[in-house]
């Protein structure tokens, strides 16, 4: 290796320094979250757009976490949040698509409440499992840590 | 490099498993609609016969000066009066006017009831009568008239025996609007045809052919709008073709479906399903149409196959559906009588199933142009089995890559979407209009859009069987 190449290597990091365990867990976590986001949001946003955006965003966030434990906790809470928000993807197209019916008729229905409950339950389960796996630290404590750097 | 053999093996195994899974899932499954290619090949030019008598509803002399019109054997004040006087194979000509009556044809096979003017011969039930023309005899033809304002049915061909379907029927040049439930309707029939007809303002279906397997029937050059369903066919199929027609502004367009409340479930399992071919299907999102619960649950869909088998959807143009252009899903309903708690106590899963749970199977969707759908142009709910989608010009599909995957694996999101709307019909109110409030059709628009609007020579044309080749000719 030439001196120039060695210098460049020093600046950008050698392939020998790649942590494949870290990289694969980042990719795995990002793919899981992006797949779910693409599935839930496909009625509103094209999958070809939603998948890479979510994958890159969550991949970046995951790459900032050193331990596998921290990555798992992030994926758990993010997944719970998306499951919780999934019913919106049933409701929103109904009220934005221009049916000749009032918003209240389409939105405030018994079945939408039923659907909301249907998704809240698994969201709470995933969040609780994540919370226990995190040793009961709590979401807000974690968020405070995140915002304070 | 920080890679050991174990890491490489794990990575390789994961990639291999993903590849195998992907290959199993993503495989082109060519739809094959050739199984129904020769359906609908009816003899539509049956030989007219001369051994009949004419009966005229109207004043004496109404046919004077009409070329080819032979002297009738009698004049009658009502259509029912003419029917009662007629014999098998006779022709009843109805003069222009508004008739407030319910006509029953029980004992006169191969009768033809014909209006002298499609627009001006009107049966009007004033929402106080149930059915315009109720037919239980074989081979009866109704043509060239208008039926409106009945609380249940416009023209109704029905067999009185489950084991003995009505054989031979035809409705031609009919306008049926503002009808409570079904406009042009056959229940348990075989060898039939609806052509050049218009149906609107029904809280179930504009056109209905149900509990008929094999149906051997064709709906062609028809228009359905402002109904809950443009077409509904419960447990019907086999030689049944819906073609070259317009389905628009209904709550949902065309609905082959399965229900345990009628004989022969699931739809299409005996002699195949329905061929839906070369139709224009658009803007079926009308939540101001009158509606039954099941129709509301499928609102915003162009073609909705609900628990049906072996239906072929081919060469249609489907546009601007707020939910799905074509959706294939398990029938999610419970037609068992009784209250919801009562049905739960009987062991029924609320909303989820009829007596049986029917998943869609072996349906083929091929070469359609679908665009402008709010959620997905093509959709397949899970669970499903053996459905195929190919050659369609579409945008978004649910699940992704639907035309390149095994049609046994649908998208749970589609199932939940349909389940939600069926559930709403069980537990709450839903947007809908009323039959009485639906607009009457504009005759000129209908005339422009149908290939044929009215008979050329209703007074002089001799009657003919509904179709050629019927065994009782």
pLDDT 10s digits, B372-417? 999 999 999 999 999 999 999 999 999 999 999 888 899 999 999 9
Cα gap B204→B228, rounded to integer Å: 5
Is the pLDDT confidence value at A5 over 50?
A: no
Average pLDDT over residues B161-181: 95
Question: In angstroms, what CA-CA distances link B139 with B24, B89, B90, B240, B466?
Answer: 51, 9, 12, 18, 6
CB contacts, 8 Å: A18 with chain B: 1-2
Beta bridge partners of B197: none
Is the pLDDT confidence value at B93 over 60?
A: yes
Q: What is the pLDDT of residue A8?
A: 43
> Of A24-38, B192-206, B331-345, which gets the smallest average pLDDT?
B331-345
Under a CB-based contact definition with an 8 Å cutoff, are residues B353 and B442 in contact?
no
CA distance B12 to chain A (A): 13
Beta bridge partners of B388: B364
Is the pLDDT confidence value at B116 over 80?
A: yes
Q: What is the pLDDT of residue B23?
A: 62
Of how many residues is chain A composed? 149
Tell me the pLDDT band of B33, cut-offs 50, 70 and 90.
very high
Look up residue B404 and give its DSSP letter: G
- Residue B139's Cβ-count burial label (10 Å; 0-12, 13-18, 19+) is buried
Tell me the pLDDT band of A10, cut-offs 50, 70 and 90.
very low
Is the pLDDT confidence value at B433 over 50?
A: yes
Average pLDDT over residues B202-219: 95
Tell me the pLDDT band of B175, cut-offs 50, 70 and 90.
very high
Of how many residues is chain B composed? 473
At A34, list the tokens: 């992006």
Cα gap A72→B175, rounded to integer Å: 65
**What pLDDT digit, counting tens, does each position of B304-322 carry?**
999 999 999 999 999 999 9
Q: What is the mean pLDDT of chain A?
A: 83
Q: What is the pLDDT of residue B233?
A: 93
pTM: 0.89
Is B423 close to A110, i.e. CB distance below 8 A? yes
Q: What is the pLDDT of residue B63?
A: 78
Beta bridge partners of B369: B317, B393
Q: What is the pLDDT of residue B256?
A: 97
Q: What is the pLDDT of residue B20?
A: 64
At B207, list the tokens: 């056109």
Give the one of A18, A39, A106 whose C-beta lies nearest to B413's C-beta.
A39
What chain A residue is nearest to B416 in terms of C-alpha separation?
A115
Question: What values do phi and psi take at B304, rounded to 5?
Answer: -125, 110
Rg of chain B (C-alpha set): 24
Give the one of A18, A93, A114 whose C-beta lies nearest to B375's C-beta.
A93
So what's the ipTM on this one? Answer: 0.81
CA B239 to the chain's CA centroid: 14
Is the pLDDT confidence value at A14 over 80?
A: no
Tell me the pLDDT band of B263, cut-offs 50, 70 and 90.
confident
| Cis status of the peptide bond prior to B246, with omega within 30 of 0 | no
**What pLDDT digit, counting tens, does each position of A39-86 carry?**
999 999 999 999 999 999 999 999 999 888 999 999 999 999 999 999
Is the pLDDT confidence value at A88 over 50?
A: yes
Residues 6+ apart with CB under 8 A from B265: B235, B258, B259, B354, B356, B358
Q: What is the pLDDT of residue B163?
A: 86
Q: What is the mean pLDDT of chain B?
A: 90
Higher pLDDT, B409 or B428: B409
The H or E element spanning position A126 is: helix A110-133
Higher pLDDT, B161 or B335: B161
Query: Which residues of B have a CB under 8 Å from any CB of A?
Result: 1-3, 7, 11, 285-288, 299-300, 322, 374-376, 396, 398, 400, 411, 413, 416-417, 420-421, 423-424, 427-428, 430-431
The DSSP line for A76-107 is HHHHHHHHHHTTHHHHHHHHHTT-SS-HHHHH
Q: What is the pLDDT of residue B15?
A: 67
Cα gap B183→B156, rounded to integer Å: 8
Is A110 close to B2, i.e. CB distance below 8 A? no
Q: How many CB pairs under 8 A join A and B?
A: 79
Average pLDDT over residues B346-364: 76
Question: In angstroms, what CA-CA distances link B281 with B253, B301, B318, B449?
Answer: 7, 10, 5, 14
Is the pLDDT confidence value at B3 over 60?
A: no
Is A47 close to B400, i.e. CB distance below 8 A? yes
> Of B222-226, B275-279, B363-367, B428-432, which gets the smallest average pLDDT?
B428-432
Average pLDDT over residues B72-77: 93
Q: What is the pLDDT of residue A142?
A: 67
- Residue B350's Cβ-count burial label (10 Å; 0-12, 13-18, 19+) is middle
Beta bridge partners of B431: none
- Return the half-sphere exposure (C-beta side, CA atoms, 13 A cut-off) of residue B262: 17
CB contacts, 8 Å: B416 with chain A: 90, 115, 118
Whether A105 contacts chain B with CB within 8 A: yes
Average pLDDT over residues B327-353: 69
């Amino acid at each position: 290796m030439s001196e120039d190449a060695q210098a460049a290597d020093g600046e950008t990091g050698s392939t020998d320094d790649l942590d494949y365990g870290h990289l694969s867990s980042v990719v795995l976590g990002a793919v899981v979250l992006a797949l779910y986001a693409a599935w839930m949001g496909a009625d509103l946003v094209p999958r070809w757009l939603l998948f890479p955006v979510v994958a890159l965003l969550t991949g970046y966030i995951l790459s900032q976490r050193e331990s596998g434990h921290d990555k798992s906790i992030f994926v758990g809470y993010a997944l719970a949040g998306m499951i919780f928000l999934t019913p919106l993807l049933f409701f929103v197209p109904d009220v934005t698509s221009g049916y000749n019916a009032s918003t209240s008729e389409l939105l405030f229905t018994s079945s939408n409440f039923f659907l909301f409950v249907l998704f809240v339950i698994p969201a709470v389960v995933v969040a609780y499992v994540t919370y226990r796996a995190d040793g009961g630290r709590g979401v807000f404590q974690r968020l405070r840590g995140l915002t304070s750097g | 490099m920080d890679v050991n053999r174990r890491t490489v093996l794990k990575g390789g195994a994961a990639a291999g498993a993903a590849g195998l899974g992907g290959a199993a899932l993503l495989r082109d499954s060519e739809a094959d609609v050739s199984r129904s290619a020769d359906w609908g090949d009816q003899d539509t030019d049956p030989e007219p016969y001369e051994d009949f008598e004419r009966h005229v509803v109207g004043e004496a002399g109404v046919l004077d000066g009409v070329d080819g019109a032979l002297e009738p054997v009698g004049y009658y004040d009502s259509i029912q009066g003419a029917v009662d006087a007629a014999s098998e194979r006779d022709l009843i000509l109805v003069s222009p006017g508004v008739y407030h009556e319910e006509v029953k044809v029980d004992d006169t096979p191969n009768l033809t009831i014909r209006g002298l003017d499609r627009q001006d011969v009107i049966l009007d039930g004033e929402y106080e009568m149930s059915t315009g023309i109720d037919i239980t005899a074989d081979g009866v033809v109704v043509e060239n008239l208008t039926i409106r304002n009945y609380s249940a049915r416009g023209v109704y061909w029905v067999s009185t025996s489950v084991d003995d379907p009505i054989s031979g029927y035809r409705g031609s040049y009919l306008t049926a609007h503002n009808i409570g439930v079904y406009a042009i309707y056959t229940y348990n029939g075989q060898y039939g045809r609806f052509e050049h007809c218009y149906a609107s303002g029904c809280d179930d279906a504009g056109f209905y052919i149900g509990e008929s397997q094999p149906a051997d029937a064709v709906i062609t050059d028809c228009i359905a709008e402002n109904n809950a369903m443009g077409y509904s066919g419960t447990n019907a199929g086999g030689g049944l073709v819906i073609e070259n027609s317009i389905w628009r502004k209904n709550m949902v367009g065309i609905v082959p479906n399965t229900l345990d409340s009628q004989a022969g479930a699931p739809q299409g399992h005996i002699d195949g399903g329905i061929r839906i071919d070369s139709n224009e299907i658009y803007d079926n999102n009308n939540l101001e149409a009158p509606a039954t619960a099941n129709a509301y649950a499928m609102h915003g869909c162009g073609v909705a196959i609900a628990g049906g088998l072996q239906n072929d959807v081919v060469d249609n143009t489907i546009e601007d559906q707020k939910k799905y252009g074509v959706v294939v899903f398990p029938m999610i309903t419970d037609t068992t009588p009784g209250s919801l708690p009562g049905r739960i106590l009987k062991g029924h899963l609320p909303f989820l199933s009829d007596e049986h749970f029917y998943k869609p199977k072996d349906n083929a969707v091929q070469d359609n142009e679908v665009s402008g759908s709010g959620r997905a142009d093509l959709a397949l709910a899970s669970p499903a089995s053996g459905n195929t989608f190919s050659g369609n010009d579409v945008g978004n599909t649910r699940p992704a890559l639907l035309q390149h995957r095994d049609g046994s694996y649908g998208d749970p999101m589609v199932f939940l979407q349909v389940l939600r709307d069926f559930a709403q019909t069980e537990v709450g109110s839903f947007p809908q209009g009323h039959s009485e409030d639906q607009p009457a059709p504009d005759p000129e628009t209908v005339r422009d859009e149908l290939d044929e609007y009215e008979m050329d020579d209703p007074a002089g044309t001799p009657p003919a069987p509904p179709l050629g080749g019927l065994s009782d000719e």
